Amino acid sequence: MANVIAVIILVILVGSAVAYIINAKKKGVKCIGCPAGGNCPGSGKMPKKKLEGRVIGRKMMKISGMNCAHCATDVTMILNQIDGVRAEVNLAKGSAKISYDRTVGDDVLRNAVEKIGYHVTSIS
């Protein structure tokens, strides 16, 4: 009897999830579960930030917790707010390619990304 009840509950949960996904797709939501309500501003191309001086170095940052284009846009924007830093975030790879025209510490980059809720796994 307990198994039958468990199966019924699972069917209801899965059915509800499928119904939610179908309704969201009908409404034109681009990414389900997105913190922006599915209307990611990151679905378009962001303009590339220009650095004031010539590039003196590059770093690759591995980031976990990015699930949609909105997440990647948030990370790009927070990194690009740092003076002397230009970032290009790749959602599929979970990474950010960072170029800089002045010395920027790894802790500054890490703190900026982790402040908005993502986890930096490495910087190289």
CB neighbourhood size of 76 (10 A): 19
Looking at the structure, do residues 19 and 60 belong to the same domain, yes or no?
Answer: no
Q: Is the pTM of this model over 0.75?
A: no
- Name the E strands within 1-124: 57-64, 85-90, 95-100, 119-123
Instruction: Count up the domains in the chain and report the number.
Output: 2
pLDDT in tens, 69-90: 888 888 999 999 999 999 999 9
Can you tell me which residue has the tokens 């797709």?
A: 25
Q: Range of 56's domain?
A: 41-123
The verdict on residue 35 lying in a domain is no
pLDDT in tens, 37-56: 555 554 456 678 888 889 99
Kindly report which listed range (60-74, 83-97, 104-118) carries the lowest average pLDDT score: 60-74
The verdict on residue 90 lying in a domain is yes
The verdict on residue 36 lying in a domain is no
Helix (H, G, I), strand (E, B) or coil at 10: helix
The per-residue pLDDT for 107 is 96
